[in-house]
């Protein structure tokens, strides 16, 4: 008669079978065997009536499908096999053998199965139960308390209210009661809202990464040199230069230090400081706004000389304190 091709095509997306994904693969194949009317494949006792092969042609096709889906390193399980039932039994004995690897994989599936809010809640509970059955066969069945903890721990945030209700109950509910409450609960937060928040987080992350990538592509910015004296001189300075021990780190000019600088201070403070005893006089910076040599406090300590005959701007030299010649 042949297998329904629609059901066969469903297996095309299945990953090669390994111990890591055997749990999911075995569930898929069990449903497949029921759907294509070959339920005898999974019967482990050939003496049972349901183990009788009804269609030998279908049995051979199923055997080939199982073999083709095995990862290459496990296809040796098909050596000398003549029926699908024997090949399935070999897979079960290999992937569900009681050893550390099988036990670790089963326990990983038990504690890491997360609820997908876009799928029925019964699928999540069934996956947990399947992992419990595997651990039971391996002699490591978790207790009811561990199962309850895992069920609640891995619930999606849309069922956070249900989880809180169960956890805050006066008497700890049984495992059956926990499953019933989870099945009957609806999401406390609309899934559209949760999805939008997740999308916003993804967009923010992508935006940050894009900005970082553009900044990296531009390279470091170069800043214009600071510190051109305000009197119009083209002499430049460098902040905290190791070669200028008498450079003011407040106004940037040399010839005085910062605690003697009165740049940008109020006029009454400048007058008070400038009237101090000799040697303690603060430094001031002058700039000329007119041709008559009138001086104004402006930016750092220097000596101002104005030549009325030249008609040019005054010449600025840095000193620890100032003097003015008109």
User: What tens digit of pLDDT does each residue of 194-241 get?
Assistant: 555 555 565 666 666 666 666 666 655 555 444 444 444 444 555 555
Confidence grade of residue 311 (pLDDT, cut at 50, 70, 90):
very low
User: What tens digit of pLDDT does each residue of 229-242 get?
Assistant: 444 444 455 555 55
Q: What pLDDT score was predicted for residue 210?
A: 65
- With beta carbons less than 8 A apart as the criterion, state whether 253 and 230 touch: no
- Token pair 């890591």 is at which residue? 20
For the chain, give every domain's residue range: 5-95, 100-184, 258-325
User: What tens digit of pLDDT does each residue of 96-114 get?
Assistant: 877 788 788 888 889 999 9
Mean pLDDT for all residues in the chain? 74
Residue 124 CA to residue 158 CA, distance in Å, equals: 14
DSSP 198-222: HHHHHHHHHHHHHHHHHHHHH-PPP
What 3-state DSSP class applies to 54? coil
Burial class, 44, CB count within 10 angstroms (exposed 0-12 / middle 13-18 / buried 19+) = exposed
Q: Cα-flanking dihedrals φ and ψ of residue 173, to 5°?
A: -75, 160
Chain mean position to CA 273: 58
Please report, rounded to a whole number, the percentage of residues in the chain having pLDDT higher than 70.
Answer: 65
User: What tens digit of pLDDT does each residue of 121-177 get?
Assistant: 998 998 899 889 888 888 889 999 999 999 999 999 989 999 999 999 999 999 999
| Closest to 36 (Cα-Cα) out of 6, 15, 12, 64 | 6
Does this model's pTM top 0.75? My answer is: no
Across the range 24-53, mean pLDDT stands at: 85
Q: What pLDDT score was predicted for residue 197?
A: 52
């Amino acid at each position: 008669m042949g297998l329904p091709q629609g059901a066969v095509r469903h297996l095309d997306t299945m990953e090669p079978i390994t111990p890591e994904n055997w749990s999911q693969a075995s569930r898929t194949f069990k449903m497949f065997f029921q759907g294509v009317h070959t339920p005898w494949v999974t019967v482990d006792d050939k003496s049972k009536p349901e183990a009788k092969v009804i269609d030998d042609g279908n049995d051979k096709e199923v055997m080939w499908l199982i073999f083709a889906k095995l990862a290459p390193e496990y296809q040796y399980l098909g050596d000398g096999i003549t029926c699908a039932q024997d090949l399935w039994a070999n897979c079960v004995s290999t992937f569900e053998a009681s050893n550390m690897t099988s036990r670790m994989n089963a326990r990983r599936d038990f504690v890491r199965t997360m609820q997908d809010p876009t799928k029925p809640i019964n699928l999540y509970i069934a996956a947990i139960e399947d992992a419990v059955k595997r651990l039971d066969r391996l002699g490591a069945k978790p207790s009811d308390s561990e199962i309850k903890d895992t069920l609640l721990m891995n619930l999606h945030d849309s069922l956070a209210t249900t989880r809180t209700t169960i956890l805050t109950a006066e008497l700890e509910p049984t495992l059956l009661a926990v499953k019933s409450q989870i099945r009957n609960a609806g999401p406390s937060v609309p899934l559209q809202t949760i999805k939008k928040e997740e999308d916003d987080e993804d967009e923010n992350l992508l935006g940050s990464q894009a900005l970082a990538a553009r900044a990296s592509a531009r390279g470091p910015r170069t800043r214009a040199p600071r510190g051109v004296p305000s009197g119009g001189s083209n002499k430049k300075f460098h902040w905290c230069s190791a070669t200028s021990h008498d450079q003011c780190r407040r106004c940037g000019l040399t010839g005085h230090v910062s605690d003697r600088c009165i740049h940008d201070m109020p006029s009454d403070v400048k007058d008070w400081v400038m009237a101090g005893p000799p040697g303690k006089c603060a430094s001031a910076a002058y700039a000329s706004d007119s041709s008559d040599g009138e001086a104004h406090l402006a930016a750092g300590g220097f000596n101002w000389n104005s030549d009325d005959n030249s008609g040019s701007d005054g010449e600025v030299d840095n000193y620890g304190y100032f003097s003015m010649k008109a």
